[in-house]
Amino acid sequence: MKITIFLIAIFAVAVVYSISECDTAKYLENAGFSSTQVPVMVCIAKYESSYNCGATHDNTDGSEDFGLFQINSYWWCSGGPISKYDGCHNTCQSMFSCQTNANCARVVYEQQGYTAWYAYRSHKSECDSFVIHC
């Protein structure tokens, strides 16, 4: 019984944080990405988190990636594993907010471009011609 309730709770959290590519595009527009940048960034979110605002990933260096664009705890947020630079001036826990994560992705993009994301480097040709289906 306890296991069933636990699994239902985990599933409910996953459903809450999964969003569509159209919702992802809206968050990116609100963050200030241009109409030509939005499709590329939606593609990046597809491969970084599968459009999951609650996604996390533990890295071999001890840092952790958070949310839709897998914002790294070492460089971009505070209060996470081995946080150091806090480039987006937000807590790592706040990166589970889809909009906060997209806003931080804008900061990352302004400093490093698309190549800041492994997903872009691995899927460059697809992301450069990505079409959003809304």
What is the SS3 assignment for 64-111?
EEECCCCEECCCCCECCCCCCCCCCCCECHHHHCHHHHHHHHHHHHHH
Selected catalytic residue, list 21, 23, 29, 48: 48
Indicate if 110 belongs to the active site: no
Question: Which strands, in side-by-side order, build the sheet including 64-66?
Answer: 56-58, 64-66, 71-72
Neighbours of 14 (CB within 10 A): 12
Indicate if 29 belongs to the active site: no
Selected catalytic residue, list 21, 65, 86, 110: 65
What are the catalytic residues? 48, 65
